Chain A
């Protein structure tokens, strides 16, 4: 395999043995970006210059006898909703097209301290709202397995970049499936940690009670390594949990004997593509072969998760996105030619011109659900359903160590296929959303293909059960070949490539 195709732990091994330098690895990844980026379109901004500086710094430290950590000198991409001081952070929105944060997100600081080499900022659905990256205000990202298909979303740029070798790993954010669904669509590993395990400071807020940052990686060991680097309490995030962080790689034993696995029948019902169902059922049999104890179970309130989410998330979004008013940062609309406007007109024009259709739709939905006369009927009702969904999980985890399901009900879909009907698009997150509502951790990993397109297996664990999650995922992964497959970048993109602007 070429350098750009290797995992972080493989590259770390080479760095340790002196078989490659951080600079060589960084060159290999940027060469790959130049080779394929016009077809994949994963990056909003590339930060080549600072990447080489960071790589050289790591090489220098190593020459001087320091022993940097396992992620030192490894090129990593960041979803473009993670604040990076001095590098613009757009959320793939016109609203923040020229926003240059005056601070780094905590996860960015932590990775930088671990010696990460940042390659740039990755494309996403605008403000993380979407499941296909078609909602980016700039351009859509293509799926490296077939360029005519979406990479999933909203962390579509992050997933596509890692799959295509344009970054060794990436950080994304997951509010209703935005790490796991694109990881599934692009054939890589994606983890949404327990709510509160990873600091959200510096993550541009979408729905604050649901958002979590997590890794997108080529295999489970990389996932554990990145989680080691980003997890932990942060005084700058008041929702950050004071949880002692273990070494997650210590869970990678290759053993899954005796693990109790629940398979909720509601996740295999109407709406599931039978071909995906078949691949996921085969993965579950594999877990049984490994000695896991698999049993069917029930998640009675499963069908209520989606409507509950599409009230709570837009409600929180409508409040969070009120800050984009054209005053302190971001886009401001000009008054009509030769005219003046008052403050209210300035707000309204700015927000109408700065936000794309999906963002406006969710702001409208959330504003409605919170508005006088509807608050109890929609928002409060949804919060109560959220309790019932948490209780379903609590009951299941009294009986099972992990729960498994498909990550997405369908394989990757074509551009435009679901873009016309918001509700149809929303349904693609039906299996990932309950996890965010309950705040538990879940991971997607490759478990096979449907007509050459990847399928993901979702594994869920109780709060702070990342260790168990990674243990089961690793045992499964090591007994299958899917994590070793690299995408062929075949097929024709349906749209012309776009011109990129600099940082």
Chain B
């Protein structure tokens, strides 16, 4: 599977990555070679095989809806790059 430059640019936008021209070319070549290697999985017929999303037979794990201690607000906000009046601050959206 050879990736085109356009595909790399499309995936970069989906992944929210701004790539330099150099990175685009490097990733195009490297991802192509990994995907070419991964092509071998198509040699197997898996039409009747169920996918494994998870190895444990656990499903819909739930617990009673009880109030518990929350994270300390100051310590949480202390990690924010920008904050104002007890909120996370982001660039203007509207």
Q: Is the CB of A385 within 8 A of B44?
A: yes
The one of B12, B50, B72, B80 that contacts A364, using a Cβ cutoff of 8 Å: B12
A18 to B55, CA, bound (A): 46
A501: chain B residues at CB < 8 Å are: none
Nearest B residue to A329 via CB reads B79
Contact (A378, B38) CB under 8 Å given A327-B90, A328-B80: yes
The one of B31, B40, B53 that contacts A361, using a Cβ cutoff of 8 Å: B31
Q: Is the CB of B15 within 8 A of A310?
A: no
A343: chain B residues at CB < 8 Å are: 90-91, 93
Chain A CB count within 10 A is highest, among B16, B42, B54, for B16
Interface SS of chain A? helix
Q: Is the CB of B54 within 8 A of A308?
A: no
Q: Is the CB of A347 within 8 A of B16?
A: yes
Q: Is the CB of A422 within 8 A of B30?
A: yes
Interface presence of A272 (CB below 8 A): no
A328: chain B residues at CB < 8 Å are: 76, 79-80, 88
Q: Is the CB of B53 within 8 A of A209?
A: yes
Nearest A residue to B89 via CB reads A327
The B14-71 residues at the A interface (CB cut-off 8 A) are 14-19, 23, 27, 30-31, 33-35, 37-42, 44, 46, 49-56, 58, 61, 63, 71
A290: chain B residues at CB < 8 Å are: none
The B73-91 residues at the A interface (CB cut-off 8 A) are 75-76, 78-82, 88, 90-91
Nearest A residue to B3 via CB reads A368
B75: chain A residues at CB < 8 Å are: 85, 100, 102
Q: Is the CB of B51 within 8 A of A439?
A: no
A235 to B64, CA, bound (A): 11
A390 to B55, CA, bound (A): 9
A98 to B12, CA, bound (A): 26
A440 to B11, CA, bound (A): 33
B8: chain A residues at CB < 8 Å are: 364
Q: Is the CB of A103 within 8 A of B46?
A: no
Contact (A349, B11) CB under 8 Å given A102-B76, A310-B34, A343-B91: no
A-B contact count (CB 8 A): 166
Contact (A382, B92) CB under 8 Å given A364-B8, A364-B17, A439-B56: no
The one of A322, A332, A388 that contacts B46, using a Cβ cutoff of 8 Å: A388
Q: Is the CB of B37 within 8 A of A383?
A: no
The one of B31, B40, B52 that contacts A304, using a Cβ cutoff of 8 Å: B40
Count class of interface residues, chain A = 35 or more
Interface presence of A238 (CB below 8 A): yes
Nearest A residue to B53 via CB reads A383
Q: Is the CB of B54 within 8 A of A318?
A: no
The one of B7, B52, B61 that contacts A238, using a Cβ cutoff of 8 Å: B61
Q: Is the CB of A363 within 8 A of B81?
A: no
Interface presence of A60 (CB below 8 A): no
Q: Is the CB of B19 within 8 A of A368?
A: no
B42: chain A residues at CB < 8 Å are: 377, 381
Interface presence of A270 (CB below 8 A): no
Nearest B residue to A340 via CB reads B91
Nearest A residue to B26 via CB reads A357
Q: Is the CB of B41 within 8 A of A332?
A: no
Q: Is the CB of A364 within 8 A of B90?
A: no
Q: What's the least CB distance linking B11 to chain A, in Å?
A: 5
Nearest A residue to B61 via CB reads A238
What would 19 A/B residue contacts be, using CB atoms closer than 8 Å?
Answer: A100-B79, A102-B76, A196-B55, A239-B61, A301-B44, A304-B40, A307-B41, A328-B76, A330-B79, A342-B92, A343-B91, A346-B90, A348-B16, A348-B18, A371-B10, A377-B42, A385-B46, A422-B34, A438-B55
* 8 more A-B residue pairs beyond the given contacts A367-B15, A388-B49, with a C-beta to C-beta distance below 8 A: A102-B72, A102-B75, A238-B61, A239-B54, A342-B92, A351-B17, A364-B11, A388-B44
Binding site for B on A (CB under 8 A): 85, 98-100, 102-103, 195-196, 209, 235, 238-239, 241, 301, 303-304, 307-308, 310-311, 318, 322, 325-332, 335, 340-349, 351-352, 355, 357, 360-361, 363-365, 367-368, 371, 377-378, 380-388, 390, 422-423, 426, 437-439, 463
